[in-house]
Structure 1
Amino acid sequence: MPFRDVLDRLPETRWPRLCLTLLCLLLWLPGFFSLPPGDRDESRFAQASRQMVESGDYVRIRYGEEERNKKPVGIHWAQAASVHVAEALGVGSRDQIWPYRVPSLLGALLGVLATFHWGRALVGRRAAFLAAAMLASCLVLVVETHIAKTDAALFATVAAAMGLLGRAYLSPGNFTGRQAAAFWLVMGLSILLKGPIGPMVVALAVVTLAISDRAGRWLKALRPAWGIPLMVLVVLPWFIAIGLATQGRFFAEAVGGDMLAKVNSGEEAHWGPPGYYILTFLIAAFPAAFLVLRGLPAAWRDRLNPGTRFLLAWLIPSWLVFEAVATKLPHYSLPMFPPLMLLGAAWAMDPLRRPAPAWLRWIGTFALVLGAAGLGLASAVLPYLADRRIDPFALLGIPAAALFLWGVLGQLRAGQPARAGLAAAILAIPLYAVAMQAVLPRLSAPWVSPRVAALLAQRAPGLPPSQFGIAGYHEPSLMFSTGTGTQLLRNGPAAAAFLAEAPGRFAAIGDRDLAAFQAEAQRLGLNLREEGAVEGYNYTRGRPIVLRLYRTAS
């Protein structure tokens, strides 16, 4: 069957959810099991969840010896449950990173399926299928499925809550009490995942629609009189428990130290100017951005249509709030991707569509070409830049990018934007597979922590983590790789003192602390023996690093 016929028939398939699930797995599974734990958020979340599994304390969130009072507990419960299931089935362990990524993958999948399921009432079945396929292929979502943290799961709760809200808005008379209960339960889960973010997106849409439509039956259909208490009932037990367990420190640090810091200043150097998300959207939404840009003018012209008005109310106020917040990262805007994809797909599927302005078409096409060429070339050259080697598998990124551009641009030239959008989602599979499976996991330089753990296991098999210390490299992936109890030492002299305190200990020393370590070891009369070294690149700090492993010789 010709490829164009496949593109035409897929949106009408009898098994849309099965097809979308298969597409998601083909896009997301490459690298899912093989990518080492990343710095810094992924390893922090995974390590805190592992400590829950190890300690049996499912109330407090700890990273090492420190309380991690930043986000609620939801994602840690999900990750701990995933680890327990993996261990019970004998397919994984708490020391592997992939079980902690399962909630991210499932969250992304649920978000894509929710976009299709509830998007049908907003833009029609064919357009909803196209939108869900485009959403699945977005670069930011592909990345988030490979990171064990909150954002993909949050995305799922927002997509589901807004889908239910859309059903209430379009057809309040048919909105059942069961659907209202599901809406408020999902809102409670969203709060347990990332605090106020999910409810904020929903509340802004509700206020916008209430102002534009003067409220009405759809708001009553949500049954807030008993729905809000139901939502509170979901979140209250843990909030009471964590408040008692930390004597109120969780709320002081989560609200004052984390949330307000993100609003008022660019936390951890993640500052961005207003307009940041508009610019990064072209990359974050690759390869779907070109179609979304073409559909936006039509969406604004069609704003009196109830379905379009709902999608704009979902999108615009939350987008403005995220642009106003000082701390910015590309994935923060992920909860607004479903309405963008639905609006773009609705335009593409409209047989009476009007062409987009030429400047939008050029920007979208430029972003499409740049994204594909950039991924292909980066895949090809990254092994040489990182490890000074040429990898034949990495070179496959160039023909994968060429195939992608040939297929997508060909459909655009034929005047078939819907086919082009679906072709982009399908032809992104080999492009992502090369980058996520053939290139990134096979690099050596960026994955310092797993290599330190491998060297330690080789030189000191069975060494308890508490008998290993490190100075000059404290990235969270290290503790996840070497085990809870790893001693993070302040500097070189502290490392020498650590070795002097008890026999049989090992210490890894970074190049910047090496001279001070050796001087203090000499002063203490230690007979040092070097057991090996790991050279790599600390990508979170942007500098090369050498770690040398020492023990005291008898």
Structure 2
Amino acid sequence: MHISAPSRPDPSLGAVPEALQRRPRLALVLLCLLLWLPGFFTLPATDRDEARFAQATRQMVESGDHVRIRVGEEERNKKPAGIHWLQSASVHLLEAAHLGSRRDIWAYRVPSLLGGILAVLATFHWGRSLVGRRAAFLGAAMLASCLVLVAEAHIAKTDAALLATIAAAMGLFSQAYLRPEQFTARQAAGFWLVLGASVLLKGPVGPMVPLLAGITLAAADRGAPWLRALRPGWGLPLLVAAAAPWFIAIGIATEGRFFRQAVGGDMLAKIGSGEEKHWGPPGFYLLSFGIAAFPAAWVVLCALPAAWRDRLNPPTRVLLAWVVPSWLVFEAVQTKLPHYTLPLYPALMLLGAAWAMDPLRRLPARWWRGIAVAALGLVALGLGLVAMAAAWFMLREAFGPSLLVLPFAAALVWVALRSARQGAWGRAAVAGTLLAIPIYAAVLEGVVPRLWPLWIAPRLEAVLRDRAPGLDSRDFGITSHAEPSVLFAVGGGTSLLRTGMDAARFLAAGPGRVVAVGDRAEADFRREAADLSLPVQEIGEVTGFNYTRGRWITLQLFRRATP
């Protein structure tokens, strides 16, 4: 039996110990945990999407109804139930093991954390046949450090889990494209089942990426010999069978409202207008790429001209087809958020890593390199300045962790650029990935959780627990701060009231009730309470910064005064 000699570590990855280079999956999992665990347990539920998803799952857990999606008394007919099932399973398992409870927001974040890890591992696994083992390892590590994925791994919603399904689907698709004669029926079944899972997570976005990539490749190649390898004849019915049962059930349970609201009220609104003030011009994702993909963006930007020149090479061709058509669709859609293009990042990171590890690489034009370097330096500088400015704005002090971000960011830029000047672009990319760890740790563990004015809902719940112990959430109402984080912190029975007059009427409607009234609604509340001859007693006050609306707010808590 022939035993091959152990491979020597690539000098370009000298920052990675040889033992970990020999165990790339273990190294990638450890990297993900180092990047993503800071802040994972300590950040309170964020508004609005995370708190909405988590509260909907909590109500699903408590009601036992795993078909309909509700936030408070309102139906949430926007996204399929896949992420809620994953979050529900996470909560049940953690509670069974006595490790967490449904009151802990991090219990709902576990599927995002695991989804991100699976996406990174999928990028490495299928990237090996596209760009080689070491470049695939580097590309997966670059993906793990991207700012947008770090953020999504901390948020209890769909996008990190969706990334895992798309990375796996496109990895399988690339195998069918490159070696259709070797693509097995088992791989084809995996491709269609993974797409079915993506549909249950976020509707048509998952299938859109391979569909557009396939159309692009078929048009460019003037043929699609790989299509037969995917077995669409029975694969498409398999996809439908994986996703259809829940869609049928929710259609029956909501009498068709889910489809009217999800398609007409959510998807078409995103396409035709900037939903919830998230409008952006064409080019938004290109301009924001340096931030969203920090610290890997500058390497990817340097690699793109070479990737385009190499577009006739089949592995590069399939990676470009993964990115270009879907990117254009996202740019055309009116509603824009930085995480929408995240499903395209595995391909971009593999292109960047392949270029960085290529000893025959061609550098882009000087002006383009200048843009890439500026993207790295300005974003690093911006993170440090934003951390200090946020601490000063919220707390009127620049405390320790906020002061560490800027030196860490400066070290990252200096080491990465120094390695690049020496021609060690792989080492530059690794340095950026590893030196991002203390930056994210300082921001997500040291700074953001300590900005207490941001976290109104947990402090409101603490006041209620202290001043009105045992209060049922159905006996609590709030006006001027109708954020889903309040529902998650206090309970789904909380009444979200529109005006101060509504708050007075709610308080008068039953004994033992408590209302929280914003400072802008207090005058109307007191006037209506006087008209109702309702004596009120102030029992507490919470002041904070509502970051979803960009303004400070003071909530005063009242209950009926005893004679």
Task: Kindly provide the amino acid, as one letter, of the partner of residue 329 in structure 2.
Answer: V
- Is the counterpart of residue 195 in structure 1 residue 200 in structure 2? no
1:447-466 matches, within 5 Å, as 447-466=455-474
Report the alpha carbon displacement of residue 378 of structure 1 after superposing the two structures with TM. 2.1
- Which residue number in structure 2 is paired with residue 86 of structure 1? 94
Using the size of structure 2 for normalisation, the TM-score is 0.96
- Is the counterpart of residue 330 in structure 1 residue 365 in structure 2? no
Report the alpha carbon displacement of residue 522 of structure 1 after superposing the two structures with TM. 1.4
Task: Kindly provide the amino acid, as one letter, of the partner of residue 541 in structure 2.
Answer: A
Q: 2:358 aligns with which of 333, 336, 350?
A: 350
CA contact (8 A) 1:82 1:99 kept: yes
Partners of 1:32 and 1:9 in 2: CA distance? 27
- Which residue number in structure 1 is paired with residue 181 of structure 2? 173
- Which residue number in structure 2 is paired with residue 491 of structure 1? 499
- Which residue number in structure 2 is paired with residue 443 of structure 1? 451
Task: Kindly provide the amino acid, as one letter, of the partner of residue 113 in structure 1.
Answer: L
- Is the counterpart of residue 321 in structure 1 residue 326 in structure 2? no
- Is the counterpart of residue 477 in structure 1 residue 485 in structure 2? yes
* Structure 1 runs not aligned, ≥5 long: none
Q: 1:390 aligns with which of 383, 398, 401?
A: 398
Partners of 1:551 and 1:37 in 2: CA distance? 27
CA contact (8 A) 1:8 1:419 kept: no
- Which residue number in structure 2 is paired with residue 304 of structure 1? 312
Which shows bigger deviation, 70-79 or 409-418? 409-418
Partners of 1:505 and 1:5 in 2: CA distance? 62
Report the alpha carbon displacement of residue 490 of structure 1 after superposing the two structures with TM. 1.9
- Which residue number in structure 1 is paired with residue 263 of structure 2? 255
CA contact (8 A) 2:504 2:528 kept: yes
CA contact (8 A) 1:11 1:125 kept: no
CA contact (8 A) 1:127 1:345 kept: yes
Q: 2:524 aligns with which of 498, 512, 516?
A: 516
Partners of 1:439 and 1:391 in 2: CA distance? 8
Partners of 1:121 and 1:553 in 2: CA distance? 72
- Is the counterpart of residue 432 in structure 1 residue 440 in structure 2? yes
Partners of 1:490 and 1:319 in 2: CA distance? 40
Report the alpha carbon displacement of residue 9 of structure 1 after superposing the two structures with TM. 5.7
- Which residue number in structure 1 is paired with residue 229 of structure 2? 221
- Identity within the alignment, %: 63
The Cα RMSD (Å) is: 1.5
Using the size of structure 1 for normalisation, the TM-score is 0.98
- Which residue number in structure 2 is paired with residue 115 of structure 1? 123
Q: 1:282 aligns with which of 266, 273, 290?
A: 290
* Structure 2 runs not aligned, ≥5 long: 1-8
Report the alpha carbon displacement of residue 212 of structure 1 after superposing the two structures with TM. 1.9
Q: Number of paired residues?
A: 553
Task: Kindly provide the amino acid, as one letter, of the partner of residue 169 in structure 2.
Answer: A
Partners of 1:319 and 1:382 in 2: CA distance? 32
Task: Kindly provide the amino acid, as one letter, of the partner of residue 370 in structure 1.
Answer: L
1:41-52 matches, within 5 Å, as 41-52=49-60
Q: 1:138 aligns with which of 132, 135, 146?
A: 146
Partners of 1:424 and 1:253 in 2: CA distance? 43
Q: 2:377 aligns with which of 355, 366, 369?
A: 369
CA gap 1:10/1:228 in 2 versus in 1, 3 angstroms = farther
Partners of 1:115 and 1:531 in 2: CA distance? 54
Partners of 1:390 and 1:423 in 2: CA distance? 28
Which shows bigger deviation, 525-534 or 314-323? 525-534
- Is the counterpart of residue 423 in structure 1 residue 435 in structure 2? no
Partners of 2:425 and 2:340 in 1: CA distance? 28
CA gap 1:240/1:120 in 2 versus in 1, 3 angstroms = same
Partners of 2:467 and 2:136 in 1: CA distance? 55
Report the alpha carbon displacement of residue 408 of structure 1 after superposing the two structures with TM. 1.3
- Is the counterpart of residue 271 in structure 1 residue 279 in structure 2? yes
Partners of 1:166 and 1:304 in 2: CA distance? 15
CA contact (8 A) 2:503 2:515 kept: yes
- Which residue number in structure 1 is paired with residue 553 of structure 2? 545
Report the alpha carbon displacement of residue 399 of structure 1 after superposing the two structures with TM. 2.3
Report the alpha carbon displacement of residue 263 of structure 1 after superposing the two structures with TM. 0.5
Partners of 2:42 and 2:436 in 1: CA distance? 20
Deviations along 1:456-496, one digit per CA (max 9) or x if unpaired, are 11111111101111111101111111111011112111111
Deviations along 1:110-154, one digit per CA (max 9) or x if unpaired, are 111111100111111111111111110000000111111111111
- Is the counterpart of residue 30 in structure 1 residue 53 in structure 2? no
Report the alpha carbon displacement of residue 10 of structure 1 after superposing the two structures with TM. 5.7
- Which residue number in structure 2 is paired with residue 68 of structure 1? 76
CA gap 1:450/1:390 in 2 versus in 1, 3 angstroms = same
CA gap 1:537/1:405 in 2 versus in 1, 3 angstroms = same
Report the alpha carbon displacement of residue 415 of structure 1 after superposing the two structures with TM. 1.9
Partners of 1:323 and 1:261 in 2: CA distance? 15
Deviations along 1:163-212, one digit per CA (max 9) or x if unpaired, are 00001111111111111111000000000000000101110001111122
Partners of 1:528 and 1:216 in 2: CA distance? 74
Report the alpha carbon displacement of residue 67 of structure 1 after superposing the two structures with TM. 0.8
- Is the counterpart of residue 294 in structure 1 residue 302 in structure 2? yes
Partners of 1:45 and 1:319 in 2: CA distance? 26
Which shows bigger deviation, 182-191 or 499-508? 499-508
* SS of match in other structure, 1:286: coil
CA gap 1:380/1:201 in 2 versus in 1, 3 angstroms = same
Partners of 2:260 and 2:96 in 1: CA distance? 37
CA contact (8 A) 2:20 2:26 kept: no
Task: Kindly provide the amino acid, as one letter, of the partner of residue 313 in structure 1.
Answer: A
CA gap 1:63/1:8 in 2 versus in 1, 3 angstroms = closer
- Which residue number in structure 1 is paired with residue 246 of structure 2? 238
